Structure 1
Amino acid sequence: MPPHLDLSTTYSHADMILSSRNSPRLSLRRATSYTNDRGPMSSTSSRFSFNHLISSPPPSPGLPALVPRHGRPVPTRSKRTYLRALLWLLGVSVILYYGFTRMRLDRSKKQVGWATNSGDEYEMVGDSELPDFPTPVVVTDKRGRTKWTVSIPVDAAFPLEPHQYAEICTQNTEVANHVADLHAHMHRPHSHYGYYHVDPYFMDVAEAEEHGLLPGPKGKKNMKAQDGSVVGEYADSLIVQDVCETSMTFVLETSDAGLGKTLMMLWSAYGLAQKEGRAFFVDDSRWAYGKFESFFRPPPMPKCRPPPRHEMLPCPHHARHLVVSAATAVHTFGGAFNEEFEDPRKMEVYRQKPMFDFARAGYLALFQLADADRVYVQNRVSELRLRTLLEPPEPENGLIIGVHVRHGDRHPYEFQYRDSYVPLERYGEKARDVLHQTFNGTGLDGGENMAAEMRSLFIVASDDPDVYESDEFSHASRAQEQIRLASKTAVGESQPTGGSAIRKFVDETVGWEGGFFAGMFWSLGKPSSIPINAMETPETKLLATEEAFRLRELVGRAYLMDLAVLGEASDRIVCTVSSMGCKLLAVMMGWENAVVNGRWVNIDGDFEWRGVSW
């Protein structure tokens, strides 16, 4: 009997060889098997058995296979699977987009830096030290929140140069947009904001110093005293007042030689400060006319002291301490100012009443002439009014009709006269028309009141001395006779002429032919050694001499007293609205008299009253 063979052991070994060498000759399956099952791949498989050695008939061709032919389940993809994949892909795309956007912003502009003031283009520069010039600065607090403020060195001269104030406002817009982009993680177009828009990412100077983001006065050694000359501030007072919570400081500095624009801005700034609850200060340290107190009494002082000079910012408008000057008029009194305060329910000039009220409040508070000039104006007004009084039983007294004529470098708005001036005949005709219309039908018999007309006066104020000698106004009275701006002809006729061989030296005659010109003003008190063909513009930055300030003071006092007499004495005023003095006279008359009752008469086209121009 043949020996017993262990088939499982033998097969297992053979199968191991088969697996390693892959030899087909050692296959134990029948060549004519009906099944297509190839059996296990290894003897170690848990599914190994001899069932594959047993032949079985093929399955019925009409029945589906119970097991998939390829040995793996057929995937079934539902709509939920596709939706889940789409959401996953969308989420990954959003994360990558914000990541790359943040990397691009961080790479192009760092979160700590300042705007350079070289040229008109500004860029953010990262560094660890503050610059030594005024500029907006991007800062990051301890929590990593990015904000911006304005850094002005505490030892910088006050006030800053006009172009520096203008640059700060321009740079502030750029930096504010940059910080807003950092918080939004993307660059987006920035819309127009209202006048009282509050930037949530702006940090005031005092707040930045409290958080240690700006050094402040304590961070500077040997800090000098505060610069500037705030009118009415008594630095040596024994009573130490607290710093005002909010304030507005008006800087009397402009490249415009005239006084009109400065006065309108000054009055409007005061009214705006009162509306916003800010303490108001005036600085005259670089005023072309000299000291404020040479012309006016000190303004009313608040019960607090001005803030440190480096905390006074030209913008944004919601800063705690504002500084306003002619250089920043477009930001303080520009389009956003008009949009905020124009009355949309009214028409024409009546839309301007809120701005008129601002200027009127400033006039009442600040237009208080110095003692000597104020006494003269009061006496002059009383004298003129006495000349219009009639004895009873006359029902009415005469009128005082004021006429303001501006020549020089100020030309009319009306097209046909824009290269010259409104003819003096139009002033005279309009003044006579106003007189006749006022007294027509007011007489005792219902006719014209000739007695009142005969008692009426025409008073004239002009920057052109030749106007007083013209045929139209030779019979009129001057508004004031304290200071006269004469022409060379008039001055030459007043000089003594004798036959003596020894003649006393007389300074060169300076006349005002044609009116007030900026070049003439800037040249006052300077040597006349300029060539005849010189065309250079007078340098306005040079420090004026004492003689120049004395002559400028006379010019300014004459202008202010003319306005004061016309504004206080006149019952009607005829002028051209293109002149700032004309618009100031409307403010001095008041809204009811000037606009509602029509006693302020413009003869320069159909233009209306407007406030600050920039």
Structure 2
Amino acid sequence: MPRPRPLTHVSNSQSVDYSSQSQLTPRTPHSRSGRAEEAYGEVEIDGVDELQEGDMRNMQNVPLLRSSASDTFPVTGYRGRGDDHRAETRRQGLTLKLIASRLPIVIGSMVAGLLLILIVVSYQKPGTLETYIGGVVTPSAASSQDSTNSTQQDHNHVDPAILISYENYTFFPLKPGEYAAECRKMVGVWMENHGYWQIPPIGVKDVIHKSGPPVCSSTITYMLGGKVGLVADLALMAQAAALAQERNRTFLVDDTYWNRGKWKDHFEDVRVTQPGPEQGCQPPPPEELVACPRLARHWIINAGTAKYHFNHGFHEQYEDPYAHNLNRDKPVFETAHESLSTTIRPNAQLKALITAARKELSDLFEESSTEYIAVHIRRGDNKASAWKYSSPGIQVPTQEFVDATSETWSRLNLSQSQISAHIASDSPAAIHEFSEALDKQWKVFSLSQSKDPNIKALASPEQYFQNNFEKLYDTEERVNLTRGIVVDLALLSGLWSDGEIKPQAVVCTIPSSICKISAIGFGWEGAFGQVNELGDIDQQGKRWVEIDEKSSIIPVWSAFNLFN
């Protein structure tokens, strides 16, 4: 490695008397040639290359070390200007800039905090914010009693903009189709633009109310119109009864146009089973009943208007929003179970027939066994849901019911010594075909096979077609067939058992309302087993066996059918 070239300018440098320097200070960043704290800026750095060579020649003309006490020691940097000068200036500048740059963040944080406080207040004390800002408090935000009082006050109005006029009608209550026509006038205007129970800003659309005490102050009436099957009505009625209880309203049933007799011919009076907040109050005049909107003081609902109320908004209001698939429907399931257990109950005469049918069914068993599987085969005007049965006239084959019955018995590990089934159908031919297709060890019971003439008379003589029901049978026959449906429903679902025998499972098809209601009789876990967090039905533990869609749809169960 070549030796470095000796310094050529040392001999020409001026003489320095090092002994005269009282103090030697090593070259530091504060010396002339090393001002680190005053580093080059972006403009200065452009001239570095041009000055570098001259600096290298000149920097050796002065001593490498110079005393900081010398008069020639440069006064540079923040130490030369005073240690506090630059720090103070920087502190002031940074403080102003910091405040200016972070002011939006501070304001945003304050706004977010305010919104959080408002959310907490609105959640814990509903209606408080509306009161302060002068807004309209929704019924759901008020207590039950306040809701009733608000209903009374808001409906005593004569504002033409929110007045429902029945001047074109002469007979009340209106027919089910006429109530549906009134609802169609309001679709998209009064019913879907607000929350399910929210009062519109303009007010509640209603008729003029002239009645007062002892008339009930607020009611929900279910109208039996005779346009759908009995169990389809019961499924909708169960939800209406639950809404009446939740809204602190009196629940009523109207059977003016029912083609199955009177409600009390089959069931207990709902004024007894669900008295409501005003026991003994009188029903409102029929001209004050309103089908839409549901906020009317005396709301009436039937199978034709249910689609305007038990629609998407209903499910958004009453399903579990944090659950998945089948689990979302659990609150609706539970309310239906409560209504069918307490409000909708067979009267004494019908309950005696149910008990007699259960006793005859139990007589088929050995003393050590009370197990049976219920099967419902719906024919007539019923249409299958699955695509493979979508062709006209195609229904779920009877053999699929037979296979599902045998498979369910084995899956649930039921007794192999006593195998029994109850078969219910609107078709006598389907009952015969099912009984013949089962293995010989099966014991089968149906109303048509009963030895009790009172029970046998309840069996359906032919396939059920809703449009022909009123044409084919007189009033007495229709009442009798309706009782038969209720007895079959009790044996299929286990409803109203009161300690009597109940089925171990039910096999049915989802389009039928009887199939939907049968699940409710088993209870949530009894019907669907241990449903997981994703809402999947327990295929191993389920006792509600649907063989049309076979759990391929979401959700696998629904509480009711809607009709046009």
Compute the TM-score of the two structures, normalised by the length of structure 1.
Answer: 0.55
Q: Is the 8 A contact 1:289 1:553 kept in 2?
A: yes
- Matching residue of 1:40: none
SS at match of 2:411: helix
Q: Is the 8 A contact 1:195 1:340 kept in 2?
A: yes
Q: Could you tell me how far 1:586 is from its partner in structure 2?
A: 0.9
Q: Could you tell me how far 1:581 is from its partner in structure 2?
A: 0.8
Q: Could you tell me how far 1:479 is from its partner in structure 2?
A: 3.9
SS at match of 2:374: strand
CA deviation digits over 1:243-270, x for unaligned, max 9?
22321011110423x2221111111211
SS at match of 1:286: coil
Could you say if the C-alpha distance between residues 553 and 417 of structure 1 is closer, same or farther in structure 2, counting changes exceeding 3 Å?
same
The one-letter amino acid of 1:344's match is P
Match of 1:455 among 418, 426, 432: 418
CA–CA distance in 2 between the matches of 1:398 and 1:140? 63
2:382 counterpart of 1:414: no
The one-letter amino acid of 1:249's match is T
Q: Residues 497-576 of structure 1 correspond to what in structure 2 (within 5 A)?
A: 512=462, 515-525=463-473, 548-568=474-494, 569-576=502-509
The one-letter amino acid of 2:527's match is A
SS at match of 1:281: strand
CA–CA distance in 1 between the matches of 2:561 and 2:379? 19
Q: Could you tell me how far 1:387 is from its partner in structure 2?
A: 4.3
Q: Is the 8 A contact 1:147 1:202 kept in 2?
A: no
CA–CA distance in 2 between the matches of 1:204 and 1:413? 39
CA–CA distance in 2 between the matches of 1:351 and 1:371? 36
The one-letter amino acid of 1:169's match is C
Q: Is the 8 A contact 1:399 1:453 kept in 2?
A: no
- Matching residue of 2:348: 371
- Matching residue of 2:163: 149
Percent identical pairs in the alignment equals 28
CA–CA distance in 1 between the matches of 2:542 and 2:180? 39
Q: Could you tell me how far 1:149 is from its partner in structure 2?
A: 2.3
Q: Residues 37-52 of structure 1 correspond to what in structure 2 (within 5 A)?
A: none
CA–CA distance in 1 between the matches of 2:285 and 2:509? 42
CA–CA distance in 2 between the matches of 1:486 and 1:383? 15
- Matching residue of 1:610: 558
- Matching residue of 1:483: 456
The one-letter amino acid of 1:434's match is T
CA deviation digits over 1:217-274, x for unaligned, max 9?
7xxxxxxxxxxxxxxxxxxxxxx97322321011110423x22211111112111211
- Matching residue of 1:432: 406
Q: Residues 24-39 of structure 1 correspond to what in structure 2 (within 5 A)?
A: none
Could you say if the C-alpha distance between residues 486 and 171 of structure 1 is closer, same or farther in structure 2, counting changes exceeding 3 Å?
closer
2:230 counterpart of 1:259: yes
Q: Could you tell me how far 1:562 is from its partner in structure 2?
A: 0.7
CA deviation digits over 1:24-68, x for unaligned, max 9?
xxxxxxxxxxxxxxxxxxxxxxxxxxxxxxxxxxxxxxxxxxxxx
The one-letter amino acid of 2:202's match is Y
SS at match of 2:163: strand
Q: Is the 8 A contact 2:224 2:258 kept in 1?
A: yes
- Matching residue of 2:72: none
Q: Which runs of 5+ in 2 are unaligned?
A: 1-154, 495-501, 530-540
RMSD, matched Cα? 3.0
Q: Is the 8 A contact 1:427 1:574 kept in 2?
A: yes
Q: Could you tell me how far 1:573 is from its partner in structure 2?
A: 0.7
CA–CA distance in 2 between the matches of 1:269 and 1:383? 35
Q: Could you tell me how far 1:175 is from its partner in structure 2?
A: 6.8
Q: Could you tell me how far 1:347 is from its partner in structure 2?
A: 1.6
CA–CA distance in 1 between the matches of 2:353 and 2:190? 52
2:486 counterpart of 1:472: no
- Matching residue of 1:182: none
Q: Is the 8 A contact 2:291 2:299 kept in 1?
A: yes
CA–CA distance in 2 between the matches of 1:148 and 1:479? 54
2:216 counterpart of 1:244: yes
CA–CA distance in 2 between the matches of 1:570 and 1:486? 19
CA deviation digits over 1:491-511, x for unaligned, max 9?
xxxxxxxxxxxxxxxxxxxx5
- Matching residue of 1:299: 270
Q: Could you tell me how far 1:309 is from its partner in structure 2?
A: 2.3
CA–CA distance in 2 between the matches of 1:176 and 1:461? 43
Q: Could you tell me how far 1:560 is from its partner in structure 2?
A: 1.2
Return the index of the structure with the highest Cα Rg. 1
2:320 counterpart of 1:343: yes
CA–CA distance in 2 between the matches of 1:523 and 1:147? 43
Q: Is the 8 A contact 1:253 1:286 kept in 2?
A: yes
The one-letter amino acid of 1:593's match is G
The one-letter amino acid of 1:316's match is P
SS at match of 1:273: helix
CA–CA distance in 2 between the matches of 1:366 and 1:564? 15
Could you say if the C-alpha distance between residues 200 and 466 of structure 1 is closer, same or farther in structure 2, counting changes exceeding 3 Å?
same
Q: Give the structure with the higher percent helix.
A: 2
- Matching residue of 2:201: 200
Q: Could you tell me how far 1:163 is from its partner in structure 2?
A: 3.0
Q: Could you tell me how far 1:571 is from its partner in structure 2?
A: 1.2
CA–CA distance in 2 between the matches of 1:601 and 1:357? 19
Could you say if the C-alpha distance between residues 309 and 373 of structure 1 is closer, same or farther in structure 2, counting changes exceeding 3 Å?
closer
CA–CA distance in 1 between the matches of 2:170 and 2:379? 40
CA deviation digits over 1:530-587, x for unaligned, max 9?
xxxxxxxxxxxxxxxxxx1112112211111111122222111111111111111112
The one-letter amino acid of 2:419's match is S
Could you say if the C-alpha distance between residues 348 and 176 of structure 1 is closer, same or farther in structure 2, counting changes exceeding 3 Å?
closer
- Matching residue of 2:90: none
CA–CA distance in 2 between the matches of 1:171 and 1:519? 27
Q: Which runs of 5+ in 1 are unaligned?
A: 1-136, 178-190, 210-215, 218-239, 392-396, 440-448, 488-510, 526-547
- Matching residue of 1:579: 512
Could you say if the C-alpha distance between residues 283 and 572 of structure 1 is closer, same or farther in structure 2, counting changes exceeding 3 Å?
same
- Matching residue of 1:354: 331
Q: Could you tell me how far 1:377 is from its partner in structure 2?
A: 1.3
Could you say if the C-alpha distance between residues 152 and 594 of structure 1 is closer, same or farther in structure 2, counting changes exceeding 3 Å?
same
Could you say if the C-alpha distance between residues 590 and 401 of structure 1 is closer, same or farther in structure 2, counting changes exceeding 3 Å?
same
CA–CA distance in 2 between the matches of 1:260 and 1:140? 40
SS at match of 1:372: helix
Compute the TM-score of the two structures, normalised by the length of structure 2.
Answer: 0.60
Q: Could you tell me how far 1:204 is from its partner in structure 2?
A: 6.2
Q: Which range is displaced more, 418-427 or 275-284?
A: 418-427
The one-letter amino acid of 1:195's match is Y
Q: Is the 8 A contact 2:419 2:443 kept in 1?
A: no
Could you say if the C-alpha distance between residues 416 and 199 of structure 1 is closer, same or farther in structure 2, counting changes exceeding 3 Å?
same
Q: Is the 8 A contact 2:224 2:302 kept in 1?
A: yes
2:525 counterpart of 1:599: no
CA–CA distance in 1 between the matches of 2:458 and 2:342? 28
CA–CA distance in 2 between the matches of 1:438 and 1:203? 53
CA–CA distance in 1 between the matches of 2:359 and 2:317? 41
SS at match of 1:453: coil
Q: Residues 302-341 of structure 1 correspond to what in structure 2 (within 5 A)?
A: 302=275, 303=279, 304-341=281-318
Q: Is the 8 A contact 2:205 2:293 kept in 1?
A: no
CA–CA distance in 2 between the matches of 1:306 and 1:292? 16
SS at match of 1:249: strand
- Matching residue of 1:100: none
Could you say if the C-alpha distance between residues 262 and 201 of structure 1 is closer, same or farther in structure 2, counting changes exceeding 3 Å?
same
Q: Which range is displaced more, 412-421 or 456-465?
A: 412-421
